[in-house]
Amino acid sequence: MEINNHQIFKDLFSRLSVKELNDRIEYFRNNVDIRSSSEEKIRNELKKIFTVKYKDDFVSFFLNADIEIPQFQKNYFYRIREFQSEDYLGLITKCFSSIQRKQDVWCRPNIEVKNYGRLNRPGKSVLYLSSQSVNAIYEKECKIGDFFFLSIYQTKLKNIRMSQIQNIQYLDGFSEEENAKRILMHNFLFSEFTKYVSAGREYLYKSSLIIYEDYFCNDKIDGFCYPSIASNFNMGYNVCFSQEKVDLNLSLVCVMVCKLLPSDGKSEFRVQPIYDGLLKDDNTISFHDYNSEFIQNKIGDYKMIRDLGIL
């Protein structure tokens, strides 16, 4: 059940003490074995944290804190793809095995998705992006000397509604205790969506996936923003688009071929751009010298970002 009336939320908060809420969170952390628990059990335990009985229904404590990108505001998102061994020849030929067509920078085919992800289940592809190129570099754990592809996406000229959990505002209309409960739940969300998951333990993503599906995902939402696991919050956030929403909301600006260089004393590292890849009408990608006159005429308003010295 979705509601927006602040007074109703005050009523909900009055039914659960800070201690009881904290006890429920600690019980989940210490007693729910994500690996061996069914999704139904995980879902029921999360329901104890995030909902309370209101009249004849269970209502979640989440106030809608969606971000709406206005129709004529352009936002840019970024994604890193590592070089494979066969891509190095492309530094000479400008033909790269990993990036040849739109599919290579869009959602993967569902059949290729074998494991749980932070916001996807096996067999269900989504597109994970970062709000800043630096975030994407940190997320991919690029090392000095690495070559990589940096895909740049632009929001289309339409109203775009994004759910978000990467920050929480103190609400003056709520008491200190009510805000404490909100922050307690938000901190739990933060920990679930930023936990480190090593290869082979993707089952740990089941909790963040269920939270996303049960409390934030609906047809009215175009994308979902969540904290970056790899870099400071002040440097940006991550965003996820479902396969159904990608084409409706995003277009590809270009795919840059880059090399990560050592620090020049002013920053932790530098990025050397080499080529720009453009999507052609037949959905293939052709590469050209970085920031050539041809490229500058093709990348539209993104040229202003480059002129400022930002990727």
Determine the average pLDDT of the residues in 199-218.
Answer: 93
153 and 75 in contact (C-beta within 8 Å)? no
pLDDT at residue 153 greater than cutoff 90: yes
The predicted pLDDT at position 1 comes to 44
The span from the CA of 50 to the CA of 212, in Å, is: 12
Q: Is the model's pTM score more than 0.95?
A: no
The CA-based diameter of the chain, rounded to the nearest angstrom, is 68
Q: What mean pLDDT value characterizes the chain? A: 89
Rg (CA), the chain: 22
pLDDT at residue 167 greater than cutoff 90: no
Residue 189: both structure tokens together: 């969300």
- Of residues 185, 176, 154, the one with CA closest to residue 65: 185
Domain boundaries, the chain: 6-61+174-198, 68-160+227-307
| % of the chain residues with pLDDT over 70 | 95
